[in-house]
Structure 1
Amino acid sequence: LKDGRQKAVKDLNPGDKVLAADGDGKLVYSDFIMFTDRDSATRRVFYVIETKEPVEKITLTAAHLLFVLDNSTDDLHSMTAAFASSVRAGQKVMVVDDSGQLKSVIVERIYTEEHQGSFAPVTAHGTIVVDRILASCYAVIEDHSLAHLAFAPVRLYYDVSSVLFPKNFISQSNATLQQEGVHWYSKLLFQIGAWLLDSRMLHPLGMSVNSS
């Protein structure tokens, strides 16, 4: 968090400022807005992506998006978003180094684990740093920019409500936006995407793995 504390993803509250990255790949603190999915009970298979020098790892569901680079470049502007299940050893992911900067680090190995509970946070910037690795906030649709655009109404609602009614908005957010299950807006976007988008852009497991 911006105040220096660390907090588990599942414990985030609207208004918390978490480490993220902007469109230029610069680290920023971004408002946590909502969970697209919050499920504390279901057991799922997760992909663990582990890096080499430094050794860091991030645990994601198969359909969650992670920013990657080909091993031939270190240009952060060449980042693309890929499903966690599509990431391969030898590619690079973005890691926050000891100086507080993003650097590309080679993925050394990928394996799966089963865990109970999964949480998909959304920030104002659409990105989030988890366990020192930069990830997208989005899943299921393999297009980070399109997903971020689709959540523009949510960001607008958050911005307007938090300015006009700050106390009431935070109280209401804690009571409504973090209930168990997939958020209604995420369900709506998935249905629209299933109708309009090329099926190759959608993860084959669909909404069943839309958490991280």
Structure 2
Amino acid sequence: MYCAGWSCRTDTKETCFSGRSKVITKNGYQKELADVKIGEEVLVLNGGNTLSFEPIFDFIHAHRTGMYTFLRLTAFNAQANKTVSIEISFYHLIFLFENQYPIHASRVRIGDLLQIVDGINVLPGVVVKIEETKSEGFLSPLTPSGTIVIDGIVASNYAVVHSHLVAHYVMQPYRWWRAFFGASRQNDSKINTYATFFYKFSTATGLINIL
């Protein structure tokens, strides 16, 4: 059983990926998330369940310095003989294989199947290890599809809420804004203002418990 303190910081509900997490950019290179610039295109799993490249519109929240606690989920696919690991916080949503509704990382158990990427294919990766780890920085990117491939594993952009779909709908006006006016300025912030309002409203109304 994993305690609720297993988030990016124990004094808040910040949720994210570690700064050393790697994404695949459009030029085919792997790049640490802490080094990715807003506007760069990275590998995602789009609405048609196909892999494609999309720009990072913004970071819902980001801090590139300091040590934080994450869950490290390790998954293995025998067909590709491939083992991958993701450093993700307690409240962040992650996709199970052949399931469009992701769950909080803390609910993942040994034997569950994650969606892992091998070339152009998305394969089932059985979770073989779950552990706590420390890593530098945290970032939570926002893409048009609401998904991102982190260290070869498909994850959601969203956290804290239970519903990826609802969060995606709620963030749609902000994505339209960024698509029209361009990417936001590159900076580190505790949390994006739009996302902060949504979180505070959901908490105050009790929606955070059902979304």
Instruction: Identify the TM-score tier after normalising by the shorter chain.
Output: 0.7 to 0.9
Task: Normalising by structure 1, report the TM-score.
Answer: 0.80
C-alpha distance in 1 between matches for 2:101 and 2:111: 15
1:5 Cα offset (Å): 2.4
Q: How does 1:70-81 map to 2 (within 5 A)?
A: 76=98, 78-81=99-102
Residues 16 and 49 of structure 1: CA distance in aligned 2, closer, same or farther (over 3 Å): same
Aligned length: 183
The equivalent position to 1:93 in structure 2, one of 114, 118, 121, is 114
Q: What residue in structure 1 maps to residue 103 of structure 2?
A: 82
User: Residue deviations 1:122-157, cap 9 Å, x none?
Assistant: 111100001111000111111100111111111111
C-alpha distance in 2 between matches for 1:88 and 1:137: 21
1:116 Cα offset (Å): 2.8
Q: Alpha carbon RMSD of aligned pairs, Å?
A: 1.7
The equivalent position to 1:58 in structure 2, one of 79, 86, 98, is 86
Q: What residue in structure 2 maps to residue 130 of structure 1?
A: 150
> Does the 8 A contact of 1:40 with 1:180 survive in 2?
no
1:201 Cα offset (Å): 4.1
Q: What residue in structure 2 maps to residue 106 of structure 1?
A: 126
Q: What residue in structure 1 maps to residue 200 of structure 2?
A: 191
The equivalent position to 1:14 in structure 2, one of 38, 46, 71, is 38
SS in structure 2 of the partner of residue 174 of structure 1: coil
SS in structure 2 of the partner of residue 182 of structure 1: coil
SS in structure 2 of the partner of residue 23 of structure 1: coil
C-alpha distance in 2 between matches for 1:102 and 1:125: 16
SS in structure 1 of the partner of residue 195 of structure 2: helix
C-alpha distance in 2 between matches for 1:196 and 1:79: 26
> Does the 8 A contact of 2:64 with 2:188 survive in 1?
no
C-alpha distance in 1 between matches for 2:74 and 2:210: 25
Question: Is residue 3 of structure 1 aligned with residue 14 of structure 2?
Answer: no
Of 6-15 and 47-56, more deviation after overlay is shown by 6-15
Question: Is residue 67 of structure 1 aligned with residue 101 of structure 2?
Answer: no
SS in structure 2 of the partner of residue 45 of structure 1: strand
SS in structure 2 of the partner of residue 68 of structure 1: coil
Residues 159 and 192 of structure 1: CA distance in aligned 2, closer, same or farther (over 3 Å): same
Gaps of 5+ in 2: 1-24
Over 6 Å off, 4+ runs: none
1:31 Cα offset (Å): 1.2
Task: Normalising by structure 2, report the TM-score.
Answer: 0.80
C-alpha distance in 1 between matches for 2:117 and 2:35: 22
C-alpha distance in 2 between matches for 1:36 and 1:199: 17
Return the letter of the residue paired with 1:31: P
> Does the 8 A contact of 1:95 with 1:103 survive in 2?
yes
Return the letter of the residue paired with 1:82: I
Bigger radius of gyration, 1 or 2?
Answer: 1
Gaps of 5+ in 1: 70-75, 163-169, 203-212
Whose helix proportion is higher, 1 or 2? Answer: 1
1:198 Cα offset (Å): 4.4
